[in-house]
Amino acid sequence: MTSNLSQKVRLPVLACLVCTLLGCATPMVSPARPLPSNAVRQVVAVSSFENRTSFDGPWRLGDGMADLLISELVASQNFIVVERANLDVVVDEIDRQSDKRFRREGRVDQGRLKNARYMIRGVINDFSQVGGTSFFVAVRRLFFGGRGFKARVAMTLTIVDIESGEIIDSVQCSGIARARSAYASATYKNVNFGGDAFFKTPLGIATSNTIRRGIRGIVKKMPRVMWRPMIAEVMEGNRIILNGGLRRGFRKGRYYQVRGEGKVITDPATGDVLHVMPGRRLGVLRVIDVSEKLAVAEVFTGSGFARGQLLEQVDRPEESR
């Protein structure tokens, strides 16, 4: 009994000592830089990660890594992230609100769920910690050493075009964190994956750095779409609502030429898009009122205007006639 009591006292003391000595000196990788102001944020979804490591600890790495990536993607403000893993819960709530037993006030509109343009899937290739000449991945036994430890996390992120199913690109990313002195794997036992305590451990720091490097790679390799002036809505009385205001450079008195839908040219053998031919010129709009986010224009010449048609600024109306 004395031995058991001594062990119960010794373990918390060792855990406190280890946390004190940990002092991970590895710097944190900074978040991805924001997109240019005229870039359109792509709509993405994230699938559960595949865990190809030999880690057999208490954490579900596949789901946990996907959640961490989603959190970091949202925080970067470079993407619009839509729910997919638990989408059935969202759909059930939408269907439930249409039931006559629920009040009409506060109902969400049907048909407003966003469509993802790209899917990001991940593979965890490494999730390990090395100490001296010893190596461990389990957290159920106590490993202790005085020469310091190095944690390493590595993963592959793949970008898939949902429309075509084509793999756009992949990102190889990894992170390493070192503890200056001793570290015990038993301290992971009561640490929640992705929590504040987790990100103070070598594996947590390595995980954070890996994900941030991955997002940097995704920002770099994701096809970029730049914002373009378009017709947002056609109103009665020759009034046209444009898809931006002062923030997008619209100014009162400016003229914009309107083009119809362009022609997509594809390769007859592969179906790949080769070029998009500009649509025909439909007429000219003149901006008559501008707010912070919207602009209102009137028809100067032409007809056949519709939502989504592209605009081209012209210096003088004569240039477009």
Give the CATH number of the domain where residue 232 resides.
Answer: 2.40.10.410
**pLDDT score for 57:** 74
- pLDDT digits over 13-64, tens only? 444 444 444 445 567 888 888 899 899 999 999 998 999 998 877 788 999 9
Distance CA 275, CA 278 (A): 10
Residue 244 resides in a domain: yes
Q: Which of 24-28, 109-113, 148-152 has the lowest mean pLDDT?
A: 24-28
Q: Does 279 lie in the same domain as 211? A: no
Length of the chain: 321
Token pair recorded at residue 309: 């048609």
Residue 8 has pLDDT above 90, yes or no: no
The pLDDT > 90 percentage for the chain reads 51
Q: How many CA atoms lie within 13 A of 169 on its CB side?
A: 11
Among residues 317, 254, 257, the alpha carbon closest in space to that of 290 is found at 254
Q: Is residue 18 part of a domain?
A: no
| Residue 137 pLDDT greater than 50, yes or no | no
Residues 6+ apart with CB under 8 A from 242: 229, 230, 231, 232, 250, 256, 285, 287, 294, 295, 296, 297, 311
> Is residue 13 domain-resident?
no
Q: Which of 221, 246, 270 is the last residue of a domain?
A: 221
Q: What torsion do the CA atoms of 133, 136, 139, 143 make, to the nearest 10 degrees?
A: -20
Structural domain boundaries, residue 122:
28-94+114-221
Per-residue confidence (pLDDT) for residue 149, from 0 to 100 = 73
Residue 4 lies in a domain: no
Specify burial of residue 17 (Cβ count, 10 A radius: 0-12, 13-18, 19+): middle
User: First vs last Cα of the chain: how many Å apart?
Assistant: 98
Helix axis angle, 202-221 relative to 61-76, nearest 10°?
60
How does pLDDT run across 175-234, given as a tens digit for each residue?
A: 998 875 445 555 677 788 989 988 888 889 999 999 999 999 999 999 999 999 999 999
Shared-domain flag, residues 158 and 205: yes
The residue out of 221, 248, 271 marking a domain boundary is: 221
Residues 159 and 267 in one domain: no
The pLDDT value given to residue 315: 84
Of 202, 221, 240, the position where a domain reaches its end is 221
Task: Please tell me whether residues 135 and 266 are part of one structural domain.
Answer: no
Same domain, 164 and 50: yes
Distance between CA atoms of residues 7 and 13, nearest Å: 10
Q: Is residue 205 within 8 Å of 176, Cβ to Cβ?
A: no
Q: CB of 249 within 8 A of CB of 279?
A: no
| Number of domain units in the chain | 2
At residue 278, the pLDDT reads 87
Average pLDDT, the chain: 83
My answer on whether 174 and 274 are in the same domain is no
- For 38, other C-beta atoms within 10 Å of its C-beta total 10
Tokens of 15: 């855990």
User: Any idea what the CATH number is for the domain that residue 59 is in?
Assistant: 3.40.50.10610
217 and 295 in a single domain? The answer is no
Report the pLDDT value the prediction gives residue 13, as an integer from 0 to 100.
Answer: 44
Assigned domain for 106 exists: no
- Summarize the confidence of residues 279-302 as an average pLDDT: 95
- With 70 as the cut, is the pLDDT of residue 260 above it? yes
pLDDT of residue 186: 54
290: burial class by Cβ within 10 Å (0-12, 13-18, 19+)?
buried
Mean pLDDT of 111-137: 80
Q: Could you tell me the strand order of the sheet in which 239-242 lies?
A: 231-234, 239-242, 295-302, 281-290, 255-259, 310-314
Q: Are residues 126 and 192 in the same domain?
A: yes
Check whether residue 283 and residue 149 sit in a common domain. Answer: no
Query: Residues 261, 302: one domain?
Result: yes
The predicted structure's pLDDT at residue 69: 96
* Residue 7, in any domain of the structure: no
Residue 5 predicted with pLDDT over 80: no
Please report whether residue 8 resides in a domain.
Answer: no
Determine contact, residues 149/178, Cβ cutoff 8 Å. yes
